[in-house]
Amino acid sequence: MKIFSLMYQHAMRWARLPKAPWYLATLSFAESSFFPIPPDVMLAPMSLAQPARAWRFALITTVASVLGGLFGYFIGATLFDVIQPQLKISSYWAHYQTAIQWFDRWGFWAIFVAGFSPIPYKVFTIAAGSLSMALLPFTMASIIGRGLRFFMVAGLMKWGGAGMEAKLHLYVDRIGWATVGLVAVAVLVYR
């Protein structure tokens, strides 16, 4: 089934829309505090579609993501008692517990790693607020971790250019189904 190639074609079309940077900023902000879809899914095709603007897209993603992280921090600092019951019954509760342990051990570095890696960053932003992590180190770790991640993604897409876009289009269904398979295996192993 060619599900992923259809989604890829739509993503590339959307990436060329005039308002695409606004959509990217909105997604980046939301993902850092409450939304489950990472901004890489827009940043990568936008950087492929317009390689000359890849660094601009990475900057937009980084700034909006850090601002969203500050919003997540605010949620944790002021509304944690309200969201805790929902958090406990969600799949994010185990991640939240991990975040607390990481803060105890590594502080600044926990936010940096969460910002750079595919670990749910939003959980760490909320945990940082609920644990009253100092705001300046939180912000600096977010800027560095998120910035490195998004500039790396944009740089790889810019470097690959049209050739990478053509190859990705050719193999996107295989990559998509392999990713689904890996996620399914990870879920089974995790349980």
Domains contained in the chain, number: 1
Residue range 106-141, pLDDT digits in tens: 888 888 888 877 778 888 899 999 999 999 999 999
Q: What is the pLDDT of residue 50?
A: 85
Token pair 């990713």 in the structure block, residue = 179
Confidence at 12, pLDDT banded by 50, 70, 90: low
Give the C-alpha distances (Å, rounded to integers) separating 66 from 52, 83, 106, 163. 23, 21, 20, 32
What angle do the packed helices 20-31 and 54-89 form, to 10 degrees? 40
Q: What residue type is assigned to position 81 of the chain?
A: D
pLDDT (average), residues 155-177:
69
Q: What residue type is assigned to position 174 of the chain?
A: R
Give CA–CA dist 121/38, Å, rounded. Answer: 9
Q: What is the pLDDT of residue 25?
A: 93
Give CA–CA dist 181/56, Å, rounded. Answer: 34
Question: Interior CA angle at 150 toward 175 and 2, to 5°?
Answer: 20
Decide if 187 contacts 23 (C-beta within 8 A): no
Q: What is the pLDDT of residue 176?
A: 58
Q: What is the pLDDT of residue 190?
A: 55
- What number of residues does the chain have? 191
Dihedral sign of CA atoms 147, 148, 152, 158 in order: positive
Residue range 15-54, pLDDT digits in tens: 778 888 998 999 899 988 877 778 888 888 888 888 899 9
Domain that holds residue 107: 3-190
